[in-house]
Chain A
């Protein structure tokens, strides 16, 4: 324990670290997230790689000082681009001790994590509170945390009458001192955040920031320096959902119809705000089914359209998805995946919709499915999705997840291109000799007539139909339609390149991933490779059709396994015969596709996979015991 009255923080030399993870946790409404976002933003401006992710309780206003009520933020800073939220935190600032229990249970901390803890609870008038606080100190010490109890409230009271609303900026000041951040940039951030609240509020918060900074310089005996990697090039700071919204706008999507669903909704918040800037329209439908129906109607009428949803919404939309495939209606469908089945884990991550998206429709419904792996790709793949939907005349599915949706990071600022935008609907006369589905024999692709085109009149139908879109009453056109729709995937496949292997092209072990796990997997692979292990990884962006050459890549490794955020039976589960063991969804798919004996490592706890877990799994599969140094 440190005596705040002494001066343990004076003249501590900063320790250079390649990366550091700090969390601020509090009851909801105490502004921890605002402080963390400011720290992230100013660190990014200084030239650090940054990834921030909010810690959100399930309820809007959970009771104060409750274990499940932790509200806050994690900020990971690095000397290179940061692509994921990392492993255990190095430092945590907590406004009360109870909220920490929840995070501790989620494995957010390790022995040696520094805990800066508000100590006003030690002298709380309520005996119960004092007891809980004392008990927590024992528990946290047992967990190995290095505890620094500080009178944050009392310090703030020297500058404001209500520390509850000002403590966050005081803490920001402290973290600026601890992480040797540029205080002027922090002042700018505060001026930006409180711009609308006026000069008085800004100057009070500046005062708190400076007070926190000065206080930490004396009271906190830790100093870190995370070297910068790049202060050049214009950047924007967005989360994955904002990137999707901006991407859909840059793609020239004209209409997005949606129904509120976590964790996809914030895409529509962004569109609701920004869409008018590009003349687009956001329709909030009466339900998930109507949302896709509305988008399909707009697309049929020649406007580029999309819908955004999550797992339960995908289930509800299934019948319309079948129609979009059957009648070949271009459409962008974004599924921000969350934990399932059923209502599952609405705010938490899972990659559980892969097979449902590929196969969850009646009959044979071939679809294009892609998955961005980074927040930058969330932007650019939205444009790709729109173009594929039109080129291949059908729905294109983009699977992101709650991890990408809530992670915030700087990405290169896109330069809008005119050719990204969709052309206006063709209203020229249609050659009446051309049927509604003039399928190209080689590709299955056909051009569509758009209402308003004279001579192109046809009735679109979800019934099996001929190339003239007439109801098929005989067997031949039924099968021809199926073949033509399937052929489109083969045509797309021929245009794709094999994925790039991260690491050597051959070796002992290959890790296969898709979606938001990219950063964690490559970080783990790099760590293992630095130690001399022959491990590589490959990350798939196209899930249907799969990218070419996978079988050849897999053959060059002794073992292949997927890392996925979904469920599989444990390989050594004594109650599950090996013959019936259920695997991760990508593993199923790749085994069927390549006939290679691919195993899986899955995680379905509603949390992103930390790089450390992948690293340990790599070592385990290589039969290596982690060294003491590597275990860190």
Chain B
């Protein structure tokens, strides 16, 4: 065009993002806290997928894990205790272009936010929900959480927790319109990373329960499982979480599990002798509310004014 040679025109260098582009600063979690590992994994996934930082929104509730957005150099929303999911769903509802990640905890999600949890699963809007499950309220200093095992001593139950723990995986398998339920552990960072990455690729709400320790209050609750690599039951399937070859030597307890098989998923969720890790359930064909809620976006001013006139006509005398 206009006789200009093609290579004369200005070419902007493509943006390339490094880990630093997602680095929001030094996390203030306790040394040894499982949250650090999750943070590193998420930054890496963002880099691997080259997601522009300005397109990412990290939403959280209140609790240790909910400080997560502060440590990402993306947009973030540190909301209220138990309310991360309504906020995250609101963000996604009319901005389908944004990449939404939710950080929540066992208290935040399964106790004060439990009502929203059921409904957010049913809305099935595309986002990754990470539940950092350390079986205790950490930030408020060792109170019983819904996932605290009975008998475990806390400041609110100094003689030991009195009720059976809430089982989030079984609960979610019973929720309507769920589309992705996975579980991983913080002491297997490779598997954790691959699980979160698989979750990010899912077209719907991908819920990942991350079993982790609180070095201050629940540092040794998973000791027996950590000592015996075979106590991790690794669920394998071509549609599941891909298992990295580096895990082959140590984590040998494998089982084939088709994530479409919700009944087998229930059986695995009930196991207490082992911790099943991987993808319990996945159905990428479930209806997505983000696709429903984004209708009408991009309507022109002219169309809106005409629409208003038509509505006024209905009330005209």
Q: Out of B78, B115, B296, name the residue touching A287 (CB < 8 Å).
A: B115
A123 in contact (CB, < 8 A): no
Give the size of the chain B interface in residues (CB under 8 angstroms): 58
Q: Give the complex CA separation of A454 and B87 in angstroms.
A: 22
Q: Give the complex CA separation of A454 and B315 in angstroms.
A: 44
Residues of A within 8 A of B26 (CB): none
A286 in contact (CB, < 8 A): yes
Residues of B within 8 A of A461 (CB): 70, 78
| Chain B 77-130 residues near chain A, CB threshold 8 A | 77-80, 83, 85-95, 97-98, 115-116, 118-119
Q: Give the complex CA separation of A302 and B75 in angstroms.
A: 12
Residues of B within 8 A of A97 (CB): none
B73 in contact (CB, < 8 A): yes
Report the stretch among A145-153, A261-269, A411-419 that lies at the interface. A411-419
CB closest residue in chain B, given A304? B94
A269-309 Cβ-contact flags toward B at 8 Å (1 or 0) = 00000111111110101110111011111111111010000
CB distance from B252 to the nearest CB of A (A): 42
A290 touching B315 by the CB < 8 A rule? no
| Chain A 387-415 residues near chain B, CB threshold 8 A | 410, 413-414
Q: Give the complex CA separation of A456 and B54 in angstroms.
A: 7
B69 in contact (CB, < 8 A): yes
B98 touching A451 by the CB < 8 A rule? yes
B6 in contact (CB, < 8 A): no
A6 in contact (CB, < 8 A): no
Report the stretch among A75-83, A136-144, A229-237, A558-566 that lies at the interface. A229-237
B244 in contact (CB, < 8 A): no
Residues of B within 8 A of A460 (CB): 76-78
Residues of B within 8 A of A455 (CB): 54
CB closest residue in chain A, given B118? A286
B317 touching A305 by the CB < 8 A rule? no
Residues of A within 8 A of B311 (CB): 246, 249, 274, 277-278
A421 in contact (CB, < 8 A): yes
A380 in contact (CB, < 8 A): no
Residues of B within 8 A of A416 (CB): 304-305, 308-309, 312
B223 in contact (CB, < 8 A): no
B70 touching A471 by the CB < 8 A rule? yes
Q: Out of B86, B305, B307, name the residue touching A290 (CB < 8 Å).
A: B86
CB closest residue in chain B, given A291? B86
Known: A294-B90, A301-B94, A421-B301. A278 touches B307 (CB 8 A): yes
CB distance from A327 to the nearest CB of B (A): 8
A27 in contact (CB, < 8 A): no
Residues of A within 8 A of B118 (CB): 286
Q: Give the complex CA separation of A463 and B78 in angstroms.
A: 8
Most chain-B Cβ atoms within 10 A of its Cβ — which of A281, A297, A421? A297
Give the size of the chain A interface in residues (CB under 8 angstroms): 69
Q: Give the complex CA separation of A507 and B146 in angstroms.
A: 66
CB closest residue in chain A, given B301? A418
CB distance from B181 to the nearest CB of A (A): 20
A452 touching B55 by the CB < 8 A rule? yes
B310 in contact (CB, < 8 A): yes
CB closest residue in chain B, given A456? B54
CB closest residue in chain B, given A329? B77
A459 touching B91 by the CB < 8 A rule? no
Q: Give the complex CA separation of A238 and B169 in angstroms.
A: 50
CB distance from A427 to the nearest CB of B (A): 9
Residues of B within 8 A of A236 (CB): 312, 315-317
Residues of A within 8 A of B69 (CB): 459
Residues of A within 8 A of B305 (CB): 416, 418, 421
B312 touching A246 by the CB < 8 A rule? yes
Q: Out of B55, B77, B88, name the residue touching A459 (CB < 8 Å).
A: B77
A320 in contact (CB, < 8 A): yes
Q: Give the complex CA separation of A414 and B311 in angstroms.
A: 11
| Chain B 126-176 residues near chain A, CB threshold 8 A | none
Most chain-B Cβ atoms within 10 A of its Cβ — which of A285, A301, A449, A453? A301
CB distance from B50 to the nearest CB of A (A): 14
Q: Out of A249, A279, A294, A457, name the residue touching B53 (CB < 8 Å).
A: A457
Q: Give the complex CA separation of A242 and B315 in angstroms.
A: 10
B74 in contact (CB, < 8 A): yes
B317 touching A410 by the CB < 8 A rule? yes
CB closest residue in chain A, given B55? A452
A413 touching B57 by the CB < 8 A rule? no
Q: Give the complex CA separation of A44 and B317 in angstroms.
A: 8
B70 touching A297 by the CB < 8 A rule? no
B194-229 Cβ-contact flags toward A at 8 Å (1 or 0) = 000000000000000000000000000000000000
CB closest residue in chain B, given A233? B317
CB distance from A629 to the nearest CB of B (A): 35
B299 in contact (CB, < 8 A): yes
CB distance from B91 to the nearest CB of A (A): 4
B86 touching A457 by the CB < 8 A rule? no
A283 touching B93 by the CB < 8 A rule? yes
CB closest residue in chain A, given B76? A459
Known: A281-B295, A300-B91, A303-B95. A320 touches B83 (CB 8 A): yes
Q: Give the complex CA separation of A458 and B79 in angstroms.
A: 13
A94 in contact (CB, < 8 A): no
Q: Out of A286, A410, A459, A471, name the residue touching B116 (CB < 8 Å).
A: A286
Q: Out of A291, A410, A458, A471, name the residue touching B75 (CB < 8 Å).
A: A458
B301 touching A279 by the CB < 8 A rule? no
Report the stretch among A125-133, A250-258, A511-519, A523-531 that lies at the interface. A250-258
B75 touching A457 by the CB < 8 A rule? yes
Q: Out of A44, A294, A323, name the residue touching B80 (CB < 8 Å).
A: A323
Q: Give the complex CA separation of A616 and B119 in angstroms.
A: 53
Q: Out of A289, A449, A462, name the residue touching B86 (CB < 8 Å).
A: A289
Q: Give the complex CA separation of A560 and B312 in angstroms.
A: 41
A452 touching B95 by the CB < 8 A rule? yes
Q: Give the complex CA separation of A249 and B304 in angstroms.
A: 9
A41 in contact (CB, < 8 A): yes
B308 touching A457 by the CB < 8 A rule? no
Q: Out of A279, A295, A300, name the residue touching B304 (CB < 8 Å).
A: A279
Q: Give the complex CA separation of A58 and B60 in angstroms.
A: 41
Q: Out of B86, B94, B307, name the residue touching A303 (CB < 8 Å).
A: B94
Q: Give the complex CA separation of A352 and B307 in angstroms.
A: 36
Residues of A within 8 A of B58 (CB): 459
A467 in contact (CB, < 8 A): no
CB distance from A247 to the nearest CB of B (A): 11
Q: Give the complex CA separation of A458 and B75 in angstroms.
A: 5
B59 in contact (CB, < 8 A): yes
Q: Give the complex CA separation of A460 and B69 in angstroms.
A: 9
CB closest residue in chain A, given B82? A289
Residues of A within 8 A of B80 (CB): 293, 319-320, 323, 462
Known: A234-B316, A286-B116. A279 touches B303 (CB 8 A): yes
A280 touching B296 by the CB < 8 A rule? yes
A167 in contact (CB, < 8 A): no
| Chain B 248-305 residues near chain A, CB threshold 8 A | 293-299, 301, 303-305
Q: Give the complex CA separation of A454 and B52 in angstroms.
A: 8
B54 touching A452 by the CB < 8 A rule? yes
Q: Give the complex CA separation of A235 and B304 in angstroms.
A: 20
Residues of A within 8 A of B85 (CB): 290
> Can you list 12 residue pairs at the A/B interface with Cβ under 8 Å?
A276-B296, A279-B303, A281-B94, A283-B90, A290-B115, A293-B79, A294-B89, A296-B79, A297-B88, A301-B90, A301-B98, A451-B57
Known: A281-B296, A290-B116, A416-B309. 10 other contacts (CB 8 A): A255-B293, A278-B307, A293-B83, A295-B90, A298-B91, A301-B98, A303-B95, A416-B308, A452-B98, A462-B78
**List of 7 A-B pairs having minimum Cβ-Cβ separation, nearest first:** A297-B90, A279-B296, A459-B76, A293-B86, A279-B299, A277-B307, A294-B90
Q: Which residues of B are at the interface with A, using a C-beta cutoff of 8 A? A: 24, 52-55, 57-59, 69-70, 72-80, 83, 85-95, 97-98, 115-116, 118-119, 293-299, 301, 303-305, 307-312, 314-317
